[in-house]
Amino acid sequence: MIRLEKRPRPSRTFAWATPLLAVLATFFFGGVLFALLGKDPVQSILTIFWQPLFGEFSFFYRPQLLIKGAPLVLIAIGLSLGFRAGIWNIGAEGQYIMGALFGAGVGLAFYPAEGVFIFPLMVIAGAFGGWAWAMIPAVLKVRFGTNEILVSLMLVYVAEQFLASMSLGLMKNPEGFGFPGSRNLQQYPSAHNAEIITNSGMHWGVVAAMIAVIFAYVLLARHRLGFAVRVTGEAPRAARFSGVNPGRLILFCLGTSGMLAGLAGLFEVSGPAGQVSIDFNVGYGFTAIIVAFLGRLHPVGIVLAGLLMALTYIGGDIAQSQLGLPAAAIQVFQGMLLFFLLAFDLFTNYRLRFGRTEAA
Amino acid sequence: MDLSAINPILLIAALMSAATPILLAATGELVVERAGVLNLGVEGMMITGAICGFSIAVETGSPTTGFIAAAVGGAVLSLLFALLTQVTLANQVASGLALTLFGLGISSLLGQGYVGVKPPRMPDVNFGPLSEIPVIGPILFSHDPLLYVGLLLVAGVWAVLRFTRAGLVLRAVGENHDAAHALGYKVVRIRILAIMFGGALAGMGGAYISLIRVPQWTEGMTAGVGWIALALVVFASWKPWRVLLGAYLFGGITQLQLNLQGAGVAIPVEYLAMSPYVITIVVLVMLSADKSAAPGSLGRSFHASS
């Protein structure tokens, strides 16, 4: 007879081993999935996880790791603060879009003027856009107790419609021969989020992600506010007794995560994506949720998880072109990872007992 | 702009059809939440149901078989959620999100060969001369069978929750799982059954979109209907008849904005398309003051040791 027994305190070993176990299980079942799709499982896994790092064309793919990883890490860091405190911002995708629109809007407004002040202004506008969009669920929750999960998610759909309206209307390239989408910011030097070191993948978004990681680490480990975040998540009642103001914490967590998501959107639209178009967003805001959980809501873990997820995107693209693996298979793969992570997390808080149940 | 092109009778008939996917999914989620489980994976189960129903209906040529397959598909996916939250005691919010992300992925994987295919049509129920009655005929007696199934399910769920022993046990589990456990009810088993019921209904709601409303398969075609269904359960204060009211309200808004788009109103299409989501938020704000109706154990994990 196997039964579960609650551990007196969560196991630290399992807290760190769970993500590794989940990755291994996902490799296995992902392989089964690829085999069912008629692909060689070993070759598929190697194509996704080995080729971008050590394959023939790795010099091309390695920089991509930073380009795809940076927005994921940036968004996930923000989300992790809220998730730790039990504040669920599910609408990072919307905040990402709004940040991109605000930032790109400022940049396009200055076109064709040149100046060193333009890009910093765009960064501020991008951060503001994401922050403002996240403030809607935050204020509604503080003021009326509205569920932030549903409101932030509804706002994703609103933001997507807004993006469509902008790229077909106000921000459409007047010299674009009627094609949807804005001017290409990559061809507008003052607004271009160019690589800082050529061919390294290192752009300002990567720098911002690094700063965010350090900031979050210090905040959680050393600052009073980080303590408030942790206590609120683990023991809400104790948090209230220790003088944490829940309203201000909600505003802070949602605001910060919105701001970071907005920044990620701005750096993407002014750099790798280049222009505001209907589908410039590729769901980083949702994948970042997986990144945050896989990284155990810990800044260092999130960096590792973000790089792993970036790898699945890059490797997925390669597998798509070389093996004809459908793009959706990677999405399933990412979803599976989160499933296994949540399932194995059982062993952090519980242990298995074998043998007969003793009398209590 | 020509508002006279909007026929109020046809609008009411169409809103009933527009409301049915939300109604089915929300009724299922209502049962799940009354059992004390918060399943945020409705969107994922709906889209999975949409493709399961669509593909089976295309392969067999029978929409009815398609709907059964959709219910099975939704229930199987929800079983994953049940496994995570009831057996491995994972956080329900995170597991629900995982289910939605996974469902979106698996549905586009399954749906690859079905883009652009036309599904078999489900004929309307034949009420004979009843559908000839002016005004009432087109509104009440000219729909597909699933729409009536939706209405019957609302009535059924209401009756079961209110009048039967099974309903009482389900509500007891949702209100206070420790007390229900102490009385000897199998909390985990009851919850798993409730979750599967919710999954089946969400799957049917999704298939209603892909087989009757649109009818076509496109990736991510449920476009947030599952989330609106979740909001609707809150709006309805966990009461079946209010779910019906809410679903028709949202169906009405969706249909009206579609008709306004068709009539060429001076508002850009994108802003009209935003309206159902914005109105959902507004309604949530207006109703969020009253949480007294929420089941007591909603969203909490249950383990017999604690």
Residue B40 touches partner A, C-beta closer than 8 Å: yes
Question: Which chain B residues are within 8 Å of A88, Cβ to Cβ?
Answer: 93
Residue in A146, A290, A293 closest to B285 by CB? A146
Interface test with A, best of B29, B76, B89 (most A CBs within 10 A): B89
Instruction: Give yes or no for residue B25 having a pLDDT over 90.
Output: yes
Find, in chain A, the residue whose alpha carbon is nearest to that of B107: A328
Query: Which whole number is the average pLDDT over A187-192?
Result: 76
Highest mean pLDDT among A67-71, A106-110, A258-262: A258-262
Q: Which has more pLDDT, A289 or A327? A: A289
| Partner-chain contact A338 B94, CB within 8 Å | yes
Question: Which chain A residues are within 8 Å of B95, Cβ to Cβ?
Answer: 342
Mean pLDDT of chain B: 86
Q: At a CB cut-off of 8 Å and minimum separation 6, what does A131 contact?
A: A95, A255, A258, A259, A262
Q: Domain locations in chain A?
A: 71-312
Question: B90: distance to nearest CA of chain A, Å?
Answer: 6
Question: Which chain B residues are within 8 Å of A293, Cβ to Cβ?
Answer: 94
pLDDT of residue A360: 47
Question: A195: distance to nearest CA of chain B, Å?
Answer: 32
| Confidence class for position B30, pLDDT limits 50, 70, 90 | very high
Question: A250: distance to nearest CA of chain B, Å?
Answer: 17
Compute the distance between CA of residue A55 and CA of residue A153 in angstroms, rounded to an integer.
Answer: 39
For the stretch A39-53, pLDDT in tens is 888 888 888 888 888
For the stretch A222-241, pLDDT in tens is 888 888 888 888 888 888 88
Question: Which chain B residues are within 8 Å of A157, Cβ to Cβ?
Answer: 223-224, 274, 277
Chains A, B: CB pairs < 8 Å: 138
Give the residues across from A351 on adjacent strands. A5
Residue in A146, A149, A161 closest to B274 by CB? A161
For the stretch B199-229, pLDDT in tens is 999 999 999 999 988 888 888 888 888 988 9
| Partner-chain contact A158 B270, CB within 8 Å | no
Compute the distance between CA of residue B19 and CA of residue B22 in angstroms, rounded to an integer.
Answer: 5
Residue B97 touches partner A, C-beta closer than 8 Å: yes
| Confidence class for position A70, pLDDT limits 50, 70, 90 | very high
Q: Distance of alpha carbon B274 from its chain centroid, rounded?
A: 20
Residue B88 touches partner A, C-beta closer than 8 Å: yes
Question: B85: distance to nearest CA of chain A, Å?
Answer: 8
Instruction: Give yes or no for residue A73 having a pLDDT over 90.
Output: yes
H-type helices in chain A, by residue range? 12-36, 41-49, 51-54, 58-84, 92-110, 118-144, 148-168, 204-222, 224-234, 236-241, 246-270, 284-294, 299-323, 327-344, 346-349
Q: At a CB cut-off of 8 Å and minimum separation 6, what does A44 contact?
A: A30, A31, A34, A319, A323, A325
Residue B78 touches partner A, C-beta closer than 8 Å: no
Question: A297: distance to nearest CA of chain B, Å?
Answer: 12
Q: Which has more pLDDT, A151 or B130? A: A151
Per-position DSSP letters for A183-214, written without gaps between them: --GGGSGGG----SBTTTTB-HHHHHHHHHHH
pLDDT of residue B4: 66
Predicted TM-score (pTM) of this structure = 0.88
Interface test with A, best of B228, B288, B301 (most A CBs within 10 A): B288
Find, in chain B, the residue whose alpha carbon is nearest to that of A170: B268
Question: Which chain A residues are within 8 Å of B97, Cβ to Cβ?
Answer: 90, 289, 338
| Confidence class for position A214, pLDDT limits 50, 70, 90 | very high
Question: Which chain A residues are within 8 Å of B38, Cβ to Cβ?
Answer: none
Query: Which whole number is the average pLDDT over A6-17?
Result: 80
For the stretch A238-254, pLDDT in tens is 888 888 888 889 999 99
Question: Which chain B residues are within 8 Å of A342, Cβ to Cβ?
Answer: 84, 88, 90-91, 94-95, 98
Residue B266 touches partner A, C-beta closer than 8 Å: no
Mean pLDDT of chain A: 86
Q: Is B158 in contact with B56 (CB distance < 8 Å)?
A: no
In chain B, which among 147-176 make CB contacts under 8 A with chain A?
A: none
Element (H, E) at A353: strand A350-353
ipTM: 0.85
| Partner-chain contact B303 A158, CB within 8 Å | no
pLDDT of residue B32: 93
pLDDT above 70: percentage of residues in chain B = 96
Compute the distance between CA of residue B120 and CA of residue B11 in angstroms, rounded to an integer.
Answer: 25
Measuring CA to CA, which residue among A94, A77, A197, A196 is closest to residue A148? A94
pLDDT above 70: percentage of residues in chain A = 98
For the stretch A314-344, pLDDT in tens is 888 888 888 888 888 888 888 888 888 888 8
Instruction: Give yes or no for residue A86 having a pLDDT over 60.
Output: yes
| Partner-chain contact A6 B278, CB within 8 Å | no
Q: Is A22 in contact with A305 (CB distance < 8 Å)?
A: no
Q: How far, CA to CA in Å, does B234 sit from each of B10, B66, B155, B220, B280?
A: 29, 30, 19, 24, 11
Nearest-5° Cα angle at A185, A182 to A186: 135
Token digits of residue A317: 């693209």
Question: Which chain A residues are within 8 Å of B305, Cβ to Cβ?
Answer: 4-6
Q: How far, CA to CA in Å, does A225 sit from each of A70, A219, A230, B76?
A: 25, 7, 9, 43
pLDDT of residue A155: 93
Q: Distance of alpha carbon A347 from its chain centroid, rounded?
A: 26
Compute the distance between CA of residue A123 and CA of residue A102 in angstroms, rounded to an integer.
Answer: 9
Question: Which chain A residues are within 8 Å of B40, Cβ to Cβ?
Answer: 149
Query: Which whole number is the average pLDDT over B50-59?
Result: 92
pLDDT of residue B74: 94
Residue B263 touches partner A, C-beta closer than 8 Å: no
